[in-house]
């Protein structure tokens, strides 16, 4: 598995490519900025390795404690943390839930101290209008986060596959199911051939 420094280099080296391809497809500076920013944030601070004590985790500074429940709930390199789309989605939902709790506390304090009246209908309406009005922007940001996370996961899988290839050859990169199936097939063929030979010998003796 590549080191944290290697992951950072991959993110920084791939950033111009991601930004260039995005601008070439969208011709939009705002969308390109969101995708590129999301890619950089996803690769450096919001990637799959938040499930362990990693460089991404350490970059959150004094706020890194918020990821402790996330780490304790997931096994490292599980599909829920390193899987395509679902890993980024789960982290977004997790962080959004924490921000929602903080917003609820702030609203409650504001109502007590400054007599500010804010209803849940107002908050839901504001959030709903924002998601509808800026759906393209939110999608661009999520896409950038996903690309940053996938660059991390793919480098992990590629590094592991390369190490297995060096140690075991082609067998190291084949799924274990296929290897077992081939072993079973070869064993069955040997048994069949032994049975045929035994029958031939029996016929000759007769």
Tens of pLDDT, residues 68-89: 999 999 988 888 998 899 999 9
DSSP state of 119: -
Compute the distance between CA of residue 78 and CA of residue 52 in angstroms, rounded to an integer.
11
Query: For 98-131, what is each residue's pLDDT tens digit?
Result: 998 998 888 888 777 877 776 667 777 787 888 8
Least-confidence region, from 78-82, 131-135, 176-180, 195-199:
176-180
DSSP state of 5: H
Query: For 116-172, what is each residue's pLDDT tens digit?
Result: 776 667 777 787 888 888 999 999 999 999 999 998 778 767 656 556 556 666 565
Compute the distance between CA of residue 206 and CA of residue 202 in angstroms, rounded to an integer.
6
Q: What's the number of CA atoms in the CB half-sphere (13 Å) around residue 44?
A: 15
């Amino acid at each position: 598995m590549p080191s944290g420094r290697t992951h950072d280099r991959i993110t920084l080296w791939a950033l111009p490519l991601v930004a260039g391809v995005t601008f070439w497809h969208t011709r939009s500076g705002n969308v390109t900025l969101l995708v590129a920013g999301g890619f950089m944030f996803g690769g450096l601070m919001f990637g799959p390795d938040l499930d362990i004590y990693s460089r991404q985790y350490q970059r959150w500074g004094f706020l890194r404690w918020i990821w402790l429940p996330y780490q304790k709930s997931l096994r490292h390199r599980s599909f829920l943390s390193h899987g395509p789309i679902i890993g980024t989605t789960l982290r977004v939902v997790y962080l959004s839930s924490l921000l929602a709790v903080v917003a609820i506390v702030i609203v409650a304090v504001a109502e007590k101290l400054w007599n500010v009246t804010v209803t849940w209908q107002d908050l839901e309406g504001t959030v709903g209008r924002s998601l509808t009005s800026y759906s393209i922007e939110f999608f661009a940001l999520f896409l950038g986060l996903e690309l940053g996370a996938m660059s991390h996961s793919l480098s992990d899988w590629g590094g592991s596959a390369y190490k297995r290839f060096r140690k075991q050859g082609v067998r190291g990169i084949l799924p274990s199911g296929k290897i077992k199936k081939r072993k079973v097939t070869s064993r069955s063929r040997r048994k069949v051939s032994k049975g045929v030979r035994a029958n031939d010998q029996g016929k000759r003796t007769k």
